[in-house]
Structure 1
């Protein structure tokens, strides 16, 4: 896409973000590339990453195999996430608005459902983990913790894009050196721990479960990673965005997943936050309390990021049913309602039910993978980054109301996954697909979904009239270039 790039320097950002699901013109592209890596590094440099390293050991996987499976999963998930991030500067749009090109103006409601449920499940889980973890580590009242972190997340989401970046960088500057000290202390034998009496080894079931959980962790960022890169100048090189997001998101996640495996096996920790506190205190007295608290604060900040993304998802869904004006007031009201919903659900869930929510996140991986495959194939292979922005905001525009190509590829991908699915605890209900059962409950459903959806979308897109789309794109660019910088599409 081309636009009016000859204007003066970007205008200063307002205290509270104005835009939501609308296009960001070049004049307002005040984002900086170097902000991306710290944002996503801290996005995973928090409490939730550590329990992922408990998954393999809980199934008998050794520390070495847990580390390898976790690292491979994070690398795979981060690659998909990073490629989505490169779409932000090119289009200046929230991720799910751009997905109208693949699924249609109203067809996008289907992947939007999966996306919103992911935000909701993450914030419910985060709230429960913080309440239980801080109660275990410090004796704090779990309900009061839930209230405080919810209010903080709401405020961060309301202030918006720029403040999320600032908060994450500030927390990173403080927590990174302290977590480094704890890790070095553990590596030099000062963190405590001893060889476990439990015999750990290797099994494909445990290895693939650990790999899938790690991959899911970063793939679930895919629906909103470009929401945080859409303020970058349109001239930003895609390779630079991909590298920045990839190394930021993968480095911290791999680090803490391996740390989690060590806490589970060598320290015998039952609760990740308490285990981190114990190891830190063994290295330097009271260091554990500080690191545990910072890790919890980082997770609370991530709840703000989820609230922001959830708001964009809800407004996109509403706009897909009935076009709305994306005002600041709409942003605030949506965030407040979302907070009430996740808080209420979180208070209904006990610590014993967190495994149910975790399994629900595995289900979300199954639902999001066909979307990510269709979206990336469309952007990088079929349309190669060329879209008519104004047409994405028209109910019966170029991309249709219900785009049969994307919806069909999505349905095919989901259908292909079902025989390979492994859902061990979904509200007391268990499902293991026939092919997964024949493979000893090894979970490869999401890999099958990626491959099948991608191939299906390419084949279905061969009938696209790209020449007419190029003419529509040129007309769209002329409209955008002529529009006032503050104009809402």
Structure 2
């Protein structure tokens, strides 16, 4: 970032509502104003919404009972959150967005491979998010889908333009709005609310199958693994001396507790009310308690979900700017951030308006695909951070193709590709709404559709990268790292008014 941009950021920091000055650049320790106490509630709300409720519909749609769906969802969420939480510790230690740090494993230009996978996740998540909102508001209020999509996407874009501080505040407000209402819905469902007008289900219609259990587990795990590329984007303003253990615990507890709660709620809504639309189900439960409460629940749910739309847009912006900068060096000014968000918004709107199908069908297929793309990356990144370089990186060298990480790092690229290719025979992609197999690998077929591709990807990519990294000269890297001071980082990344190397 140029010196003028940095000055603007610090000048506006105390004025309240201001556009964040930083994007893909380093956050100086003097500007690390975030608090550890904000991380738990932030990531609790990250899963505390009707989208996560919809994930609880997947198991029943495959014939899995609510009890088994709740168990599979809780186990999957906790498994996926482990990876997410460990990524979160990288933010305060380096003061960088997640995908900038991935240049150490893939290279200054080679990181584009990982960026394509994560950009697919960020944009894809919002496609599903907006599709669920469009369908729900149309079913409850009869609202036309296109204006709804435009309004939701615009609010998300605006929040992401203002950035980190406003988004943290928006998450806090949304949590205060939604927590009492979702608690009320949970209690009401326990006492049979909303079940009077639900069609009766056959007692034997839902039960247990390993395929459905494994699918629900994988989808729940992928849901929180998908946060892995996000977490340090929102923890990088924490002080460098933030306790790694406390941060990992805060992220894990926040994201896993709300995720398990909402998936369990969705599972019981699906079994007891035969629900296939989370907003419609919330409307039914609320209306059975008090006249008009159902509509209030739906509106509050949508409003409380808008910061999540912004979360995806914000991280997509960081990913897009990182990708552009990896090909042609840019100065990450507020203007660049606004232009990138505008591009992302237009692409998102085009995708939303062109995709056809039910929200639950899109959700199921997308989450499985997302897991396949992200697992090799998260394995490579975490093995490098905790097992190879042990958190020690030369930050200025992330910003030049001529540094110690180079333009291309074949170790990371090969490990990612080898892991992904090894996953293909284990792929099981199923369209629950249509009742059709999209793609089933030969080994998945032998396993009767049990999806263990994600486990294969984690093990193969992680082990491959670890073995390839044994040829790294880590002693030479550490000497470079030890010679770099905070002043060097500020000067070499443009914070002192000098061009980046």
Quick check: 1:388–1:477 contact (8 Å CA) kept in 2? no
Aligned ranges 1:133-144 → 2 under 5 Å = 133-144=136-147
Query: Scaled by the length of structure 2, what TM-score is found?
Result: 0.92
Q: Among 349, 362, 365, which residue is 1:359 paired with?
A: 365
Query: 2:29: which partner in 1?
Result: 26
Mapped pair 1:162 → 2:162: no
Query: 1:461: which partner in 2?
Result: 469
Mapped pair 1:221 → 2:227: yes
Aligned ranges 1:221-300 → 2 under 5 Å = 221-300=227-306
SS of 1:232's equivalent in the other structure is: coil
Quick check: 2:225–2:371 contact (8 Å CA) kept in 1? yes
Quick check: 1:413–1:449 contact (8 Å CA) kept in 2? yes
Query: 1:5: which partner in 2?
Result: none
Query: 2:114: which partner in 1?
Result: 111
Question: For residues 179 and 33 of structure 1, what CA distance do their matches in structure 2 show?
Answer: 25
Quick check: 2:380–2:462 contact (8 Å CA) kept in 1? yes
Mapped pair 1:374 → 2:390: no
The CA deviation at 1:353 is 7.2
Deviations 1:5-61 (A, max 9, x none): xxxxx9845611001100000011011111111111111111211110011001110
Query: Scaled by the length of structure 1, what TM-score is found?
Result: 0.94
Quick check: 1:103–1:402 contact (8 Å CA) kept in 2? yes
Mapped pair 1:196 → 2:198: no
Change (3 A) 1:135 1:356: closer
SS of 1:423's equivalent in the other structure is: strand
Query: 1:180: which partner in 2?
Result: 183
Query: 1:451: which partner in 2?
Result: 459
Deviations 1:444-468 (A, max 9, x none): 1001111111111111111111111
Quick check: 2:135–2:359 contact (8 Å CA) kept in 1? no
Query: 1:147: which partner in 2?
Result: 150
Question: For residues 406 and 181 of structure 1, what CA distance do their matches in structure 2 show?
Answer: 47
> Aligned-pair RMSD on alpha carbons?
2.0
Question: For residues 238 and 496 of structure 2, what CA distance do their matches in structure 1 show?
Answer: 17
SS of 1:48's equivalent in the other structure is: helix
Query: 1:389: which partner in 2?
Result: 395
Query: 2:4: which partner in 1?
Result: none
Question: For residues 428 and 106 of structure 2, what CA distance do their matches in structure 1 show?
Answer: 27
Query: 2:449: which partner in 1?
Result: 441
SS of 1:424's equivalent in the other structure is: strand
Change (3 A) 1:113 1:265: same
Query: 1:340: which partner in 2?
Result: 346
Deviations 1:389-425 (A, max 9, x none): 0011111210111101111111121122111011224
Change (3 A) 1:205 1:482: closer
Quick check: 2:78–2:256 contact (8 Å CA) kept in 1? yes
92-101 vs 475-484, which moves further: 475-484
Quick check: 2:276–2:360 contact (8 Å CA) kept in 1? no
SS of 2:50's equivalent in the other structure is: coil
Quick check: 1:128–1:350 contact (8 Å CA) kept in 2? no
Q: Among 321, 325, 328, which residue is 2:331 paired with?
A: 325
Quick check: 1:409–1:456 contact (8 Å CA) kept in 2? yes
Deviations 1:85-122 (A, max 9, x none): 11000000000000000111111100100100111111
Quick check: 1:57–1:264 contact (8 Å CA) kept in 2? yes
Quick check: 2:163–2:314 contact (8 Å CA) kept in 1? yes
Deviations 1:185-208 (A, max 9, x none): 222333436773152111110001
Query: 1:4: which partner in 2?
Result: none
SS of 2:485's equivalent in the other structure is: helix
Question: For residues 151 and 240 of structure 1, what CA distance do their matches in structure 2 show?
Answer: 35
SS of 1:430's equivalent in the other structure is: strand
Question: For residues 29 and 214 of structure 1, what CA distance do their matches in structure 2 show?
Answer: 32
Quick check: 2:380–2:412 contact (8 Å CA) kept in 1? yes
Deviations 1:330-376 (A, max 9, x none): 00010011101100110112343762464133222111101000101
Q: Which runs of 5+ in 2 are unaligned?
A: 1-9
Q: Among 481, 488, 496, which residue is 1:480 paired with?
A: 488
The CA deviation at 1:300 is 2.4
Change (3 A) 1:482 1:295: closer
SS of 2:403's equivalent in the other structure is: coil
Question: For residues 393 and 330 of structure 2, what CA distance do their matches in structure 1 show?
Answer: 22
Query: 1:307: which partner in 2?
Result: 313
SS of 1:375's equivalent in the other structure is: helix
Query: 2:70: which partner in 1?
Result: 67
Quick check: 1:121–1:361 contact (8 Å CA) kept in 2? no
Count of equivalent residues: 480
Q: Which runs of 5+ in 1 are unaligned?
A: 1-9
Change (3 A) 1:282 1:23: same
